[in-house]
Structure 1
Amino acid sequence: MAVERRAKQFAPFAALKGFEDAVREKEIIYEPRRILSEEKKNELDMKLRMLKPGMEILVEFFTGNPSLPGFGRYHTVKGDVAFFDPSVGLRIGDTEIEIRDICEMSGDVFEILEMPC
């Protein structure tokens, strides 16, 4: 048998195409989207009004799962705001976040709001 043909018999073979991806998808734990209280919505609104590009913040946000409506994962990203438009969303580094998906924002720029009275 020629060397080229012999090498082909040892090539990787996947009997179930996409099986590994399906297993990995099932390993991810999705949780229901949290409903924010009116107080929390007002707090986020005040923080969004203070937000400007260049500020360093930490944002927790929700990304939905298209195959499970109402369920998804929460992510946290920290960095400088590269882009902000209150009608569209914001970008921190390569992460684009829609305003409606934000559930928490913190950072030194918000210290005035976070101090107890």
Structure 2
Amino acid sequence: MRQKMSMDKRAAQFLPFQAVKGLDEALLAKEKIKVPKIELSDEMAEELNKKMHNIKKGSIITCIYFCKGEYLKMTGMVARFDEVARILRIVNTKIPFDDILDISFPE
């Protein structure tokens, strides 16, 4: 007569097997293509400067910025806009002014 398997042991049979811990994360990191930071032209810099003058704490904005070899896009509420420290903080993400490529104001 066969002994009944506990529910924990039975469930463990169906858990995904990962032979090497962290392999999935390492493969995803390898798939990312590093890009060089774009230098803004004078016209692009002027346009961005105009947009930045419209930013107020509490505004909802979309920001495209450079971070660790890639461009990221974030939409959220402006928690801090510090012209002296040259930092824009959207929710909990601090973005140096020099890394900002573009800003838009979603409707």
TM-score, length basis structure 1: 0.65
Change (3 A) 1:108 1:20: closer
Displacement after TM superposition at 1:31 (Å): 1.4
Which whole-Å deviations, capped at 9, do the CAs of 1:12-45 have from their partners, x for residues lacking one? 896x676554433211122121121100101111
Q: What are the ranges of 5 or more consecutive residues in structure 2 without an aligned counterpart?
A: 1-16
Partner of 1:25: 29
Partner of 1:76: 73
Partner of 2:86: 88
* Number of aligned positions between the proteins: 94
C-alpha distance in 1, partners of 2:34/2:93? 20
% of aligned pairs identical? 37
- Give 4+ residue runs of structure 1 displaced > 6 Å after superposition: none
Which of 99, 102, 106 aligns to 1:101? It is 99
Displacement after TM superposition at 1:48 (Å): 1.5
Partner of 1:69: none
C-alpha distance in 2, partners of 1:57/1:24? 29
| RMSD between aligned residues | 2.6
TM-score, length basis structure 2: 0.70
Q: Which of the two has greater helix per residue?
A: 1
Q: Which amino acid aligns with 2:72?
A: H
